[in-house]
Chains A and B, each alone.
Chain A
Amino acid sequence: MHNQLKFRLPDEYNQQQLTSALADHYVIKKELPALKRMAIYDTFDWRLFNKSFVLYMSEKKLFLRKLFKNALIHSAAITSPPVFIRDFPDGELKERLSPVLKMRALLKLIELHSRLTAHRILNQDDKTVARLVYEEIKPARGKNAPILAIYLWLQPVKGYTKDCQNLTKHLEEAGFAACKKEDIYFKAIEVAGKSPGSYSSKLKIQLDPAMRSDEASKTILRYLLQIMKINEANLEKDLDTEFLHDYRVAIRRTRSALGQIKSVFPQNTTGRFKKNFSFVGKLSNQLRDIDVYLLKEDVFKAMLPPVLRNDIDPLFDYLKKKRSKAFKHVISGFGSDKYRKILQDWEAFLDEPVQDPPLASDADLPIITLAKKRIYTQYRRIVADGSQILENTDDEKLHALRIECKKLRYMMEFFSSLFPRKKINSLIAQLKTLQDNLGDFNDLFVQKKYLLNIAEELPVTGQKHKKVLVAIGSLIGTLGREKQIIKDALAKTFTNYASPPNKKAFSELFASGQKETVP
């Protein structure tokens, strides 16, 4: 039904009252109640909710609608509950959600039971001119679960508009309120103990400009530790690759913060934790590498000429085997004494109150001052380095430039609450363009190396071995050509980034109090 109306029942109104109230005015035929199960899905990081989508499965069908809307956007038949977008049947629904879900797994947020009782409103020919459906919604689990909502749906029948209008008027007079600003989604998610949008891999750190720098740093680092913990706890289930990814980004950001927000903690403390997090990061390097290649399986295959596409399968089979070992390595690493001690030590340090007098030279500087100084210095460094590197492009140096950009990006994100939102976001967006370009370049560089190495380890022999080597060779060739294309584009992206208006924007936002200007 596309244009059905939803009403809320007046207080203390039950189904029986409804039936008898209607019977005074209409000939009604009550049908047998029908039970429907309905499960709501989203990814761990609420990708659907963030786009105002509600995806649910009922009676072997998937339905997509927008929050607060009853009309369905798409639906599709499906035999088993969906996990990845590749499990969806080909069609509009898959096309719509593919760019939203990407590689993330869907989780069942809650299962609901809905009990629907239809009342057909008949005219003098006993023809149905409208349906009133009384719906009771409950969580599926728990016998005594409370009723989450009772709705009355008015479903018009095509060609009987007048009857429907009369009925609407009648219901409104009887105290039924049309509820447009209500969605069962929220009540259902709440009863499941979840809160929509509660997790995001994006940083949302609120700082006060006058805050002491060591205090602000700890706020940032505590936030990152939370992200690490949340993802670490879910990693064991191995639902998708992104728990590990988010976990690793949090580690990288932590290491970057320790290195970039200088002189806020005693040097030996910073040094010790930097070393510790380097160890923690390395623990999962191999697993992430493999994940990246497996995620790219289709992309890589598409790069190959069709005749070679199946020949490369031994590579991916090998990587899949290797992955399960790498995964076990990470999980056992998480259980190790050394790892647990590092994290405990870190948490204890972050929970310690900051000391007076401060333990490091910049510890009691207002964070706004330190943030401006660090961001501006880093920007100038990138502009200076980048100009030199692009004159005689060198793969290794471009890699170094990418790391410097990443450091700047992290700092701008850590401190974004200290600056006007629009301005800083636009500068971050610009930096992102440059980073994407450098990132693509680096990926291709690293992939080439990785493929060359892995080709030597492949446990295949004979004809198959020859074939897979030819396929890998062809892939490396394509990657090399792509790399050149990206390299050519890089100069332009960088020129934009170091352009006078951009330099001005940076200096306006971050240079106050500093005399230097961008060279």
Chain B
Amino acid sequence: MTTLAIYSNKGGVGKTAAAVNLSYLAAQTGAKTLICDLDPQSSATYYFRVKPKLKSGAKGFIKGGKQINKSIKGTDYENLDLLPADFTLRNLDAAFDKLKRPKERLGKIIKPFKAEYDLIIFDCPVTISTLAENIFNASEFILVPLIPTTLSVRTHRQLLSFCRKNKYDTSKIYAFFSMVDRRKKMHKELMAMMLKEFNGVLRSLIPYLSQIERMGIDREPVAASAPGSVASKAYQNLWAKFQEATLANPSI
């Protein structure tokens, strides 16, 4: 079983779009997949047309096991289940902090599902607090969408230095370019620079496309609603590049 977090400490970078499409693509290959929507904004849940409701809310979530199993919903796609988000998840940080080993709770919560699923994908909210550390501990891989802007470069540096300081293995952090406008000279230059500066940046990019924005109207992964589209192909390429990179990673 593999755990993968689609994570960023910067907002609006295309995390949910990536999480939804990658989980769909993984499920299509036959891997039994669970996407966990950890974001109280519940966008991934919305894309899959599921009600943003957890049994017993964040309390039930923290309990894990049966409580969570009751909340899991089958999506419209084979092999793909969703653990919906709930607005009460906004207090997750505070709730974790009250418990013993507050940074290892998420790993414990999903442990019972490791036997049932081949892949668990976390769609994460913007965070670099206790929840973020839970995510780092619970995930084998962390995939970060990077918009080729100077602010993105700054936040990614922040993330890496935070991880180094707190002794999190940075070799499990991968990144890909998101919302890229190839007509912009600055995007090109920054991408070249980031490939040089950061390890684990995949040579794969998701262009800025209205098709992806339309997911909010269609409420379907674009890889499902328009499998032959440019957007869908970009996600397919990203998934292939990610698998290539992780399979080649000798530390795994």
A159 and B76 contact, Cβ closer than 8 Å, known pairs A125-B49, A127-B50: no
Stretch at the interface among B9-17, B67-75, B168-176, B193-201: B67-75
Contact A159 B49, beta carbon cutoff 8 Å: no
Contact B49 A127, beta carbon cutoff 8 Å: yes
In the bound complex, residues from chain B placing their C-beta under 8 Å from that of A160 are 73-74
Most buried by A among B49, B71, B72, B219: B49
In the bound complex, residues from chain A placing their C-beta under 8 Å from that of B70 are 159
A120 interfacial contact with B, CB 8 Å: yes
In the bound complex, residues from chain B placing their C-beta under 8 Å from that of A157 are 73-74
A436 interfacial contact with B, CB 8 Å: no
Instruction: Please name the residue on chain A nearest to B49 by beta carbon.
Output: A127
A159 and B219 contact, Cβ closer than 8 Å, known pairs A125-B49, A126-B49: no
A515 interfacial contact with B, CB 8 Å: no
CA–CA, A160 to B82, complex, Å?
A: 12
Q: Which listed residue (A120, A126, A156, A158) contacts B219, Cβ 8 A?
A: A126
- How many inter-chain residue pairs (CB < 8 Å) link A and B? 30
CA–CA, A157 to B48, complex, Å?
A: 13
Number of A positions contacting B (CB below 8 A):
10
Report B121-152 residues with CB < 8 Å from chain A CB: none
Instruction: Please name the residue on chain A nearest to B78 by beta carbon.
Output: A1
In the bound complex, residues from chain A placing their C-beta under 8 Å from that of B76 are 120, 127-128
B86 interfacial contact with A, CB 8 Å: no
CA–CA, A128 to B49, complex, Å?
A: 9
In the bound complex, residues from chain A placing their C-beta under 8 Å from that of B75 are 128
B39 interfacial contact with A, CB 8 Å: no
In the bound complex, residues from chain A placing their C-beta under 8 Å from that of B51 are 125
Contact with A along B96-108 (1 / 0, CB 8 A): 0000000000000
Contact A158 B74, beta carbon cutoff 8 Å: yes
CA–CA, A127 to B47, complex, Å?
A: 10
CA–CA, A256 to B72, complex, Å?
A: 67
Instruction: Please name the residue on chain A nearest to B50 by beta carbon.
Output: A127
In the bound complex, residues from chain A placing their C-beta under 8 Å from that of B81 are 158-159
Closest beta carbon of chain A to B83's beta carbon, Å: 10
Report B49-76 residues with CB < 8 Å from chain A CB: 49-51, 70-76
Contact B72 A158, beta carbon cutoff 8 Å: yes
In the bound complex, residues from chain A placing their C-beta under 8 Å from that of B219 are 125-126
Closest beta carbon of chain A to B30's beta carbon, Å: 9
Closest beta carbon of chain B to A79's beta carbon, Å: 16
CA–CA, A220 to B81, complex, Å?
A: 61
CA–CA, A126 to B70, complex, Å?
A: 21
CA–CA, A156 to B72, complex, Å?
A: 13
In the bound complex, residues from chain B placing their C-beta under 8 Å from that of A156 are 74
Instruction: Please name the residue on chain A nearest to B48 by beta carbon.
Output: A127
In the bound complex, residues from chain B placing their C-beta under 8 Å from that of A127 are 48-50, 76
Closest beta carbon of chain B to A418's beta carbon, Å: 54
Closest beta carbon of chain A to B216's beta carbon, Å: 14
Closest beta carbon of chain B to A26's beta carbon, Å: 15
Closest beta carbon of chain B to A486's beta carbon, Å: 44
In the bound complex, residues from chain B placing their C-beta under 8 Å from that of A125 are 49-51, 219
Which residues of B pack against A, CB within 8 Å? 48-51, 70-76, 81, 219
Per CB-CB distance, the 10 closest pairs between chain A and chain B, nearest first, are A159-B73, A158-B74, A127-B49, A157-B74, A128-B76, A125-B49, A158-B81, A159-B72, A159-B74, A158-B72
> 20 extra interchain contacts, Cβ-Cβ under 8 A, other than A127-B50, A159-B73?
A120-B76, A125-B49, A125-B50, A125-B51, A126-B219, A127-B48, A127-B76, A128-B74, A128-B75, A128-B76, A156-B74, A158-B72, A158-B81, A159-B50, A159-B70, A159-B71, A159-B74, A159-B81, A160-B73, A160-B74
